[in-house]
Structure formats: structure tokens, C-alpha cells
């Protein structure tokens, strides 16, 4: 029995040495374990210790998003006209504008009464004419007409434009056509309506150039009679600094259509008045 215990002791001792290679005794193994458990933890740097702010990164706008944003913006008339090529006005353009303007104000039967006959329209400007050359084309017998005109408070030809400045430009540009004709400015700037009424009562005027608002007021006050009128020309194709034509301006468009109802429409249907789009 003593021998067995001795053998067991020697086996255990051999097994201990085998499990601790490189250690001369039991103390070497204990030292390694202690060093592993008490190894110093590396200190955190100041940057890692300070709390970091959290920022939400906005996604970059793609081309599709930018396109959608542009599509949502309401297009202005200036943007539309700037991209479009100039096209000469046609009688159909005037007819369509009248129908669109009165569609919400009139019944279907009343809208039909507003239709202008095709025979009342003169050849429209194809954007190659000056005002004088256009008037000569649509009214080749102008000299005879103005000589036969002797009625006061009326004109033979009426040219309607959007502003006083534009009216002055048109008067200067029609010198070659008008000749010795008497021309009158029919706009509100610096001229009172009563003064214009007196001038129309005193002398014979052949040509009138002005804005629809003032012309309409002269008719209301009895200063201007439309019955002797033979030609009514709209300054249709000209554009202002904002690229707007006369009929692109809501206020002007409204006054033009009110003027048409004040006698122009009935004269056109009777065949005594012709319309031109310059």
C-alpha cells in the first residue's frame, strides 16, 4: 500500500511539471496567472472620452428631385414667352381669346353671338412689315378715304396699343403712310379726357392711336363716334420688356373686349368695319 501511494505521488508530481513547461516550480505558474489578471487597461484618449455630437446628414438632391421641384413652380408668362418663338397673330387667336374670356360669364347661345365673321378680318402681319408698309397693304386707297372723310368726333382708322409710350412709337413709325392725315393721340397720360373731347369736336381727325381704356371712355362721353370707322388695327405682335404682348396683359385684354362690345362687334357683322392684326 505504501508503495502504491508513493507511485501515485510521483505521477501527480510529473503531471504538474508537464502542465507547466518552462517553470522550475509551482510558483512560476502562479506568477503568470497573476500578471494576466492585473494587466493595466490602456487609458482612453481625451478625444474618445469627450461626447461626440450627432449630426443628421441631409441626402444630396438628385437631378430627378431638382426637376420635380422646378415642375412644381408656377410658370410665369414671361418664362413661357421667352422660350417660345415669335409667331404672328391670327384671327383665330382673337376668336379663341374672346371665347375663353366670356366662357364663364355667358351662356352658350350668347357666346355664339360674340363670334366675329371671317370676312371682317384683314390680312394679318407676318412679322415682316413695318407699320407703314402693313397699313399700305391693308388700305391701298387711304388717300381717297381720308379726303372723303369730313365728319367730326370720329376717325377713319383706329390703332389700339397697350400704352402711351407705345402709341407715340407707332405714330412716329407711320409717317410714310399717313401723309397729310390728321392724327390724334388717344391715351390718358398727360391728357385729360375733356380736352380730347373738345379737340374731336373742333376738327376733323383721320387717324387715332391710343389705348383701349381711353378710347372706351371717349365713346362713353360721346366724344368719339365709331360709326364712320373703317379700319380697326390691333398692335398684336409687339412685346414689352417683360415679353408680354398687348393681349397677354389681363387689364388690357379686358378693356379690349369691352370695347368690342361697345359697337365694334355690330360694325364688323354689318360689314362696314375691318379688323387687322399688326
* Residue pLDDT, tens place only, 52-88: 555 556 666 566 665 555 556 666 655 665 566 778 8
Q: At 163, is the pLDDT very low, low, confident or very high (cuts 50, 70, 90)?
A: very high
Q: Say which DSSP state 57 is in.
A: P
The larger pLDDT score, comparing residue 48 to residue 98, is at 98
For the stretch 134-159, pLDDT in tens is 999 999 999 999 999 999 999 999 99
**Is the CB of residue 212 less than 8 Å from the CB of residue 256?**
yes
CA 92 to chain centre: 22
Cα distances (Å, whole numbers) of residue 19 to 25, 30, 99, 230:
11, 13, 107, 127
How remote is the C-alpha of 153 from its chain's centroid?
40
Query: The whole model's pTM is what?
Result: 0.70
Give the least confident one: 3-17, 20-34, 170-184: 20-34
Amino acid at each position: 500500500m505504501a508503495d502504491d501511494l508513493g507511485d501515485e505521488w510521483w505521477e501527480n508530481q510529473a503531471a504538474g511539471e508537464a502542465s507547466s513547461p518552462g517553470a522550475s516550480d509551482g510558483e512560476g505558474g502562479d506568477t503568470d496567472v497573476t500578471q494576466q489578471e492585473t494587466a493595466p487597461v490602456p487609458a482612453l484618449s481625451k478625444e474618445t472620452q469627450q461626447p461626440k455630437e450627432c449630426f443628421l446628414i441631409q441626402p444630396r438632391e438628385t437631378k430627378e428631385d431638382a426637376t420635380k421641384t422646378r415642375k412644381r413652380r408656377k410658370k410665369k408668362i414671361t418664362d413661357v414667352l421667352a422660350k417660345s418663338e415669335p409667331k404672328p397673330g391670327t384671327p383665330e387667336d382673337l376668336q379663341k381669346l374672346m371665347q375663353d374670356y366670356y366662357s364663364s360669364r355667358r351662356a352658350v347661345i350668347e357666346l355664339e353671338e360674340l363670334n366675329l365673321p371671317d370676312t371682317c378680318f384683314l390680312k394679318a402681319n407676318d412679322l415682316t412689315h413695318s407699320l407703314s408698309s402693313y397699313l399700305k397693304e391693308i388700305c391701298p386707297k387711304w388717300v381717297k378715304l381720308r379726303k372723303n372723310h369730313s365728319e367730326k368726333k370720329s376717325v377713319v382708322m383706329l390703332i389700339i396699343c397697350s400704352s402711351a409710350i407705345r402709341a407715340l412709337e407707332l405714330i412716329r413709325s407711320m409717317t410714310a403712310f399717313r401723309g397729310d392725315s390728321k392724327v390724334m393721340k388717344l391715351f390718358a397720360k398727360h391728357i385729360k379726357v375733356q380736352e380730347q373731347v373738345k379737340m374731336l369736336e373742333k376738327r376733323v381727325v383721320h387717324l387715332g392711336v391710343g389705348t383701349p381704356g381711353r378710347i372706351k371712355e371717349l365713346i362713353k362721353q360721346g366724344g368719339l363716334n365709331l360709326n364712320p370707322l373703317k379700319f380697326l388695327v390691333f398692335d398684336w405682335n409687339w412685346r414689352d420688356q417683360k415679353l408680354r404682348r398687348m393681349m397677354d396683359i389681363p387689364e388690357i385684354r379686358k378693356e379690349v373686349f369691352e370695347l368690342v362690345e361697345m359697337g365694334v362687334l355690330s360694325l364688323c357683322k354689318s360689314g362696314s368695319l375691318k379688323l387687322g392684326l399688326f
